[in-house]
Amino acid sequence: MVDHLANTEINSQRIAAVENCFGASGQPLAVPGRVLLGEGILTKECRKKPKPRIFFLFNDILVYGSIVINKRKYNSQHIIPLEDVTLETLPDTLQMKNRWMIKTSKKSFVVSAASLTERREWISHLEECIRHLLTKTGRQPSTEHAAPWIPDKATDICMRCTQTKFSTLTRRHHCRKCGFVVCADCSRQRFLMPRLSPKPLRVCNLCYRQLLAEKKKEAEADRRQPEPIGSAIPAYEPSSGDDSDKSDDDKAEQWPADTEFYTSEVSWSSFHS
């Protein structure tokens, strides 16, 4: 179907319509070989509360944005290369059903569909496009994923110290490494994670210590290996992720940093003695 639609007038018109809906705030989407396969409204679990978002599935990218006027105007366009996407089906919660997680190296988040059938169709088409792209490029599936942010309402206290209670004066923050909701005292450090951003990002104290230990270990390993003649220090490419520090305004026993909140069968608080 993709090959059949690639160079058709109807496909060009559909892509142009999507570009027009995003207006000047969106990036151009028409490139040779790109096909618009489907679109629909999914509920995205955001930091403050679940919000409807428009999603467009192309054969090589997933595009989503905020709905300004339904079927006429969208903004806050985000473009995700499908080669970087991994999907994970999630159990229902009291608030949301038919959920799954879209995981990438720069940003991971949870969405839900209006029905089980709709979720099945979205996941089926996404996985088919991902398989086709990986086969075409010879790449392996991505194994490193950004941690999804725990929603603000998931906890009233800091998920690290479990002492600080959040209020209108005591703000919530998010660790960019583990995604936990933490207080200011538990997240005073920042660390450079080039995969996520060219600037140092807020991390919790536990993740900061772990990141420092990993950096020290890598530095020691580099010192043991002779440097090739004429080699240069590789430069990091800027991240295209949108989770900058500015999103803070919107957005005993230690816990393992890789604890997966969304897939764990026990509540986060039961990790503490």
In the chain, which residues have pLDDT < 70?
Answer: 1, 3, 226-273
Is 89 contained in some domain? Answer: yes
| Local structure of 40: helix, strand or coil | strand
> What pLDDT does 31 receive?
93
> What pLDDT does 228 receive?
54
Indicate whether 32 and 127 sit together in one domain. yes
Q: Output Rg (C-alpha) for the chain, integer angstroms.
A: 21
Burial track 44-54 (b if 16+ CB lie within 10 A, e otherwise): bbbbeeeeebb
**Sequence-distant (≥ 6) Cβ neighbours of residue 198 within 8 angstroms:** 236, 238, 239
Indicate whether 133 and 17 sit together in one domain. yes
Indicate whether 77 and 161 sit together in one domain. no
Is 231 contained in some domain? Answer: no
Is 0.85 surpassed by the pTM of this model? no
> What pLDDT does 222 receive?
81
State how far the alpha carbon of 147 is from the alpha carbons of 70, 169, 259, in Å: 30, 26, 10
Domain with 202 in it: 149-219
Indicate whether 116 and 184 sit together in one domain. no
Domain-terminating residue out of 179, 194, 219 = 219
For the chain, the domain total comes to 2
CB count, 10 Å around CB of 245? Answer: 15
Domain-terminating residue out of 73, 108, 137 = 137
> What pLDDT does 246 receive?
40
Is 23 contained in some domain? Answer: yes
> What pLDDT does 224 receive?
80
Domain-terminating residue out of 93, 112, 137 = 137
Q: Phi, psi (5° rounding) for residue 92?
A: -70, 155
Residue type, 249: D
The long-range contacts involving 46-51, CB below 8 angstroms and separated by at least 24 positions, are: 46/109, 46/151, 46/251, 47/149, 47/151, 47/152, 47/174, 47/247, 47/250, 47/251, 48/151, 48/152, 48/250, 48/251, 49/151, 49/153, 50/95, 50/96, 50/112
Where residue 18 sits, what CATH number does that domain have?
2.30.29.30
> What pLDDT does 7 receive?
77
> What pLDDT does 242 receive?
40
Whether 142 contacts 104, CB under 8 Å: yes
Tokens 């142009």 — which residue? 16
Indicate whether 166 and 124 sit together in one domain. no
> What pLDDT does 95 receive?
82
DSSP states along 155-169: -SB-TTTS-PBP-SS
Structure tokens at 250: 């919107």
Question: pLDDT of 36-92, one tens digit each?
Answer: 999 999 999 998 899 999 999 999 999 999 999 988 999 999 999 999 999 999 999
Is 270 contained in some domain? Answer: no
Where residue 197 sits, what CATH number does that domain have?
3.30.40.10
Measure the CA–CA gap between 73 and 67, rounded to whole angstroms.
Answer: 7
